[in-house]
Amino acid sequence: MKRQVTSLAVRRLLIALITLVIVSFAVFFATALLPGDTATILLGQSATPEAIEGLRKAMHLNDPAIVRFLRWMAGLIQGDFGTSYANNVSVANLIRGRLANTMKLAGLTASIAVPLALTLGITAAMWRGTLYDRIVTVATIGIISVPEFMIATLAVLLFAVYLRWLPALSFTNEVKSFYDLMRTYAMPVVTLTIGVSAQMIRMTRAAVVETLNTPYVEMALLKGASRPRLVLRHALPNALGPIVNSVALSLSYLLGGVIIVETIFNYPGVAKLMVDAVSTRDLPLIQTCAMIFCLGYLTLITAADIIAVLSNPRLR
């Protein structure tokens, strides 16, 4: 079994590397297809042909695309992410703080959302058909249908504007105590938790219900296993594969897809950074952000697969 996991991990690692190279190619050339370049965008309305030419020369934008790509790639291999076109700051510096912020937000959200979703999903499956199950199901469907910006805006209106309990914006630089942390992160974390849990609850419930319907669970029931034991000991290990997968997908969303929450709470994370980078056609920054998202996604999915293998009695 150990060998199986190792070979899976190695195979995944190789595929991940190839995927990263393909993604970086795709992102680079997709960006090159966008109209305008950093020089024209930075100069805006005041872009005269001479001014553009001068700035392009100064920024080495006149080199062929492939040369710029290879230069960036060579730097990356040596651990240098390059320098942002838009403001001449090293990409590593730009990303460091932002990535830490994103990880903090994602970590906090995950630590609440995952246990919550699993508990609700599993219990709903255990007591399938009861009033409790109906309430959970209807609530999750209701929440999936409400867009995130709506939840976030309503939360701000209620807790910040009318009740004045919480700040409307998340000033991460002002966090000095645990109380500050709670106040600052309460609304973004709750908004995201609501958004990502709904998916996980539904997936968990569906997976557990499906395994509960299999003959071997029926066998266990006939043997006289108690209901909790039936679900936790017999059904859950087999349902874990799809559950872990949906958890991984939700978490990868938290890494790069929370632009709306970042915008509304003015939270400085990487999603906003990537959007900025695209609007200024800032290639080194776009590339690095894309690599981070891709790497995060691959890591999570690989981890999910390994957990699925480990948990599956038939594969053990």
Partner 1 sequence: MSDTTNWSCSDNATIESAIRRGASRRDLLKLMLANGMALAAANAVFGRASQAVAATPVKGGALKAAAWSSSTADTLDPAKASLSTDYVRCCSFYNRLTFLDQAGVPQMELAESIESGDAKTWTIKLKKGVTFHNGKDLSADDVIFSLKRHLDKATGSKVAAIASQMADFKAIDKNTVEVTLASPNADLPTILSMHHFMIVADGTTDFSTGNGTGAFKCKQFSPGERSIGVRNPNYFKSGPNVDSFEFFAIPDENARINALLSGDIHLAAAINPRSVRLLEGQNGFALSTTTSGTYTDLNMRMDMVPGNNRDFVEGMKYVVNREQIVKSALRGFGVIGNDQPVSPANFFYNKTLKPKSFDLDKAKFHFQKAGVLGQTIEVITSEAAGSAIDMAMIVQASAAQIGMKLDVKRVPSDGYWSNYWLKAPVHFGNLNPRPTPDILFSLLYKSDAPWNESRFNSEKFDKMLLEARGSLDQAKRREIYNEMQVLVSEEAGTIIPAYISNVDAITAKLKGLEPNPLGGMMGYAFAEYVWLTA
Amino acid letter for position 170: S
Our measurement of the distance from residue 150's CA atom to the centroid of its chain's CA atoms, rounded to an integer in Å, reads 20
Cβ of residue 179: shortest distance to partner 1, in angstroms? Answer: 17
Binding to partner 1 by residue 4, rule CB under 8 A? no
- Considering only CA atoms, give the Rg of the chain: 24
Cβ of residue 77: shortest distance to partner 1, in angstroms? Answer: 24
Cβ of residue 154: shortest distance to partner 1, in angstroms? Answer: 11
Cβ of residue 86: shortest distance to partner 1, in angstroms? Answer: 4
Cβ of residue 167: shortest distance to partner 1, in angstroms? Answer: 5
Residue 184: burial class (beta carbons within 10 Å; 0-12, 13-18, 19+)? buried
Binding to partner 1 by residue 154, rule CB under 8 A? no
Measured from the CB atom, the residue of 51 and 209 that comes closer to partner 1 is 51
Cβ of residue 275: shortest distance to partner 1, in angstroms? Answer: 8
> Across-strand partners of 83?
90
Stretch that binds partner 1, among 16-24, 214-222, 268-276, 292-300 (CB under 8 A): 268-276
Binding to partner 1 by residue 41, rule CB under 8 A? yes
Distance CA 105, CA 63 (A): 39
Binding to partner 1 by residue 89, rule CB under 8 A? yes
Distance CA 192, CA 77 (A): 35
Our measurement of the distance from residue 283's CA atom to the centroid of its chain's CA atoms, rounded to an integer in Å, reads 22
Distance CA 233, CA 313 (A): 11
Binding to partner 1 by residue 63, rule CB under 8 A? no
Measured from the CB atom, the residue of 163 and 222 that comes closer to partner 1 is 163
DSSP helix/strand/coil, 171:
coil
Which structure tokens are listed for 75?
């730097």
Measured from the CB atom, the residue of 87 and 119 that comes closer to partner 1 is 87
Binding to partner 1 by residue 6, rule CB under 8 A? no
Reading phi first (left if > 0) and then psi (alpha if -120 to 50, else beta), residue 281 is in left
The packing angle between helices 178-212 and 148-155, to 10°, is 140
Stretch that binds partner 1, among 138-146, 150-158, 201-209, 227-235 (CB under 8 A): 150-158
Q: Residues 1, 44, 79, 215: which binds partner 1 (CB under 8 A)? A: 44
Q: Which of residues 98-137 bind partner 1 (CB under 8 A)?
A: 98
Binding to partner 1 by residue 161, rule CB under 8 A? yes
Cβ of residue 115: shortest distance to partner 1, in angstroms? Answer: 30
- Asked if residues 110 and 118 have their Cβ atoms less than 8 Å apart, the reply is no
Distance CA 104, CA 275 (A): 20
Our measurement of the distance from residue 78's CA atom to the centroid of its chain's CA atoms, rounded to an integer in Å, reads 27
Binding to partner 1 by residue 232, rule CB under 8 A? no
- Asked if residues 140 and 116 have their Cβ atoms less than 8 Å apart, the reply is no
Chain residues binding partner 1 by CB under 8 A are 35-36, 39, 41-46, 48, 50-51, 53-55, 57-58, 84, 86-87, 89, 94, 97-98, 153, 156-157, 160-161, 164, 167-169, 171, 173, 263-266, 268, 272-273, 276-277, 279-280, 282, 285
